[in-house]
Amino acid sequence: MKRIERLLKKMAEEKLPAMYVSNPKNVRYLCGFTGEDSSLILSEAAVFFITDSRYVEQAREELSDLIQIVCWTRSMMAETAEIIRKHHIQEIGFEGFHLSYSDGELFKSLVQIKTRIADGWIEEFRAVKDDDEISKTLEAVKIVDQTFMHILNFIRPGISEKQVATELEYFMKRIGSERTPFETIVVSGIRSAYPHGVASEKIIELGDMVTLDFGATFQGYSSDMTRTVAVGKPDSRLSEIYDLVLEAELAGVNAICHGMKSKELDSIIRSPFVRENMNDRFNHGAGHSIGLDNHEAPFISYRSEEEFVENMIMTVEPGLYLPGLGGVRIEDDVLVRKEKSQVLTGSPKKDLIELPFYE
């Protein structure tokens, strides 16, 4: 109930008497419910958890006795409106980011009271992890590290990207991952120049760079790591950009700390690329937070004035992409500390791994 109390306090500060929480990750964060299709109505007087008949038993097991479980009959929204009416709630906040336009319109027309968009409040709490969240993330990180060592023995010329992705996912599940938090990326050869290409039927060939970007989930918390390896000897331009990406990545993970501005970190990560006139080959964000969502606030961005705070968990993930030739990305998960932050992922990266398979 600590997290709910914190939200109630924030609502009191913002003079918002009630709040409707529908983002399933936020529902889970606040009350511990691990299922789907459920929402919360919070007010100083009472907290309601609204679900359907599939989840009532699970909710009884997972929720505090202080939360009233309501099983809707007509629809989630109709039940929400009913509770609001019965309890004489005068104004309610909701998560505009999460509701579709139609659901938002329906919500407003059903509740018939003053509504206010209250986006990002819970996400702001979620950005800074507590000890329990950190230890769950560490478990998810362990799974990707072990899986990387396994996959090095699996990747060889003649198998497809999809086979590699399937093996990655199967192995992660076998050693304790609940699910992949995002679609596993395996791109090889010229496809490694696609920052977010998903695994295809393409066969891995000698001389290919292979980029693996994958994550595991442990008790809801995700990890996210990227390594690029070579199969045989790659084009020398690709070995060179490997060193440059590694330089950028190390600069980022060594610099990030409590109080640093997001845009400051972004420019530290980019500086080796700027020096070598290659910044235009780095065409995605330099990192993001991980937690119950695989991409959550804050983000590393040249536009962001936001400051990192101790116990945020950030990815740092620079990459360079040369269309028609290939690409490199290196990504680690970092626990932000006051002085020197802690790199959680431990998979090797110091030298480009050239997998020893020759014809």
Q: Which residue is nearest to Mn ion (CB)?
A: 224
Give whole-number Cα distances, 131 to 253, 314, 342, in Å.
21, 16, 14
Beta carbon nearer to Mn ion, 23 or 315: 315
* 342-343: strand order across its sheet: 296-300, 287-289, 313-316, 332-335, 342-343
- Using DSSP's 3-state secondary structure scheme, residue 209 falls into strand
H helices of the chain, where? 2-13, 24-31, 56-62, 76-86, 101-111, 121-127, 131-152, 161-174, 236-255, 262-275
Least CB distance to Mn ion at residue 282 (A) = 14
- Using DSSP's 3-state secondary structure scheme, residue 18 falls into strand
What are the residues whose beta carbons fall under 8 Å from the beta carbon of 35, sequence distance 6 or more?
51, 54, 55, 58, 59
Strand partners, 210: 188, 229
Beta carbon nearer to Mn ion, 55 or 214: 214
- Using DSSP's 3-state secondary structure scheme, residue 90 falls into coil
Q: What angle do helix axes 101-111 and 76-86 make, rounded to 10 degrees?
A: 30
Least CB distance to Mn ion at residue 213 (A) = 7
Least CB distance to Mn ion at residue 71 (A) = 38
Least CB distance to Mn ion at residue 112 (A) = 42
What tokens were used for 311? 């116990």
Least CB distance to Mn ion at residue 158 (A) = 29
Least CB distance to Mn ion at residue 239 (A) = 23
What tokens were used for 177? 């991952």
H helices of 34-97, where? 56-62, 76-86
Beta carbon nearer to Mn ion, 93 or 319: 319
Beta carbon nearer to Mn ion, 38 or 315: 315
Beta carbon nearer to Mn ion, 263 or 295: 295
What are the residues whose beta carbons fall under 8 Å from the beta carbon of 53, sequence distance 6 or more?
71
Beta carbon nearer to Mn ion, 224 or 266: 224
Residue 290: Cβ within 10 Å count: 26
Beta carbon nearer to Mn ion, 208 or 224: 224
Least CB distance to Mn ion at residue 315 (A) = 5
Beta carbon nearer to Mn ion, 315 or 347: 315
CA 176 to chain centre: 18
Least CB distance to Mn ion at residue 294 (A) = 7
Strand partners, 331: 226
Which residues contact Mn ion (rule: CB under 5 A)? 224, 315
Between CA 223 and CA 294 the distance in angstroms is: 7
